[in-house]
Amino acid sequence: MKNTEALSLLDIVFYFCFNKDNSSLKTYKGVRSKLKRKTKILSLLLAAILLAVAIEVIEISGANDLDEKNWNFEKIREWNNFVYTKEDSAELVIGLKGREYPKLNRLIALNGGKIVKTISTKKEILAIVADIPFNSIPNFVEKAKDLVKYIEPNLKFRVESLPNDPYWIYQWAPKKIEADWAWNETFGDPSILVAVVDTGIDYNHSDLAANYVALGYDWAYNDTDPMDDWNHGTFVAGIIAAVTNNEIGIAGLAQVKIMAEKVFNKEGEGYESWIASAILHATDQGAKIINLSFSTEYNGSLLYEAVKYAYQTMFY
């Protein structure tokens, strides 16, 4: 890396991971001279711009794309591969608007459905999840569309697979991003809380236990024990915060605290309502960083609302 005052994304990542008190960015020993005040301001501006652009992209492609105008609910029986369906019903995610909840509740009941979950922050209910018979869904959507912000199926997510090769643990990434140079200055700030929204965490693991805090939840099985039964979340947590200099396993990128929000079941499947609940819960628990190591082909309005809430809570 050249000796320069130009900022990279790595600078911003380490700024948020290692500088909770908004002090100057730490220099990389032997590589960078101390950044001037104007560089600090530039880093904050750049970080804000990146976050604002991310939210704007989601707003454009997510909140307005997947609503009742674009989902043909007549075909919902065919969507079992990517939404939450049962033998004769499906779950719908419904964004609440104003004081229409009582009317909406009655309409759900009239169509043979029931509310199975609420998605809420500390201040308000953002959405509900209703289980409604297939035959009643088109009629319900037509009558409910003016009472709600959006209606969409409860989208399915799936954890991405990992190789089981024994040498996979010999990671190249920390050296590639020159984390070892940053460690000359700091190994991280244990007051920073990182939420791992994934398959859970093996919190008894000898390389993770010291950095784990029991603040999360198991949204897949509705209990307070987010133990990993797939190993993906534990792997991710190790990359983030495995204990360093303990002669065990790998070296985590930062010595921060980690919490587990389990959103995938033992088959590696999860749903939008679980993930959104996890993001909201992690934010309310004080997480400053939320890690989501999975992907989907679809943009959900509920997921957009959850990310927006986290963004506004953390940065405003």
Do 213 and 279 meet the contact criterion of CB atoms below 8 Å apart? no
Query: Where on the phi/psi map is residue 314: left (φ > 0), alpha (ψ -120 to 50), or beta?
Result: alpha
Say which CATH architecture domain 73-154 belongs to: 2-Layer Sandwich (3.30)
Q: Where are the domains of the chain?
A: 9-63, 73-154, 166-315
Separation between Cα atoms, residue 237 and residue 154, nearest integer Å: 27
pTM given for the model: 0.72
Helix or strand run (H / E) with residue 112: none
* CATH code, 166-315: 3.40.50.200
Predicted confidence pLDDT, tens digits, the chain (316 residues): 444 444 444 444 444 444 444 444 444 444 344 444 444 444 555 555 555 544 444 444 444 434 445 799 999 999 988 999 999 999 999 999 988 999 999 999 999 999 999 999 999 999 999 999 999 999 999 999 999 999 999 999 988 755 454 444 577 888 788 888 888 889 999 999 999 999 999 999 999 999 999 999 999 999 999 999 999 999 999 999 999 888 888 888 999 999 999 999 999 999 999 999 999 999 999 999 999 998 887 889 999 999 999 999 999 8
Separation between Cα atoms, residue 20 and residue 41, nearest integer Å: 15
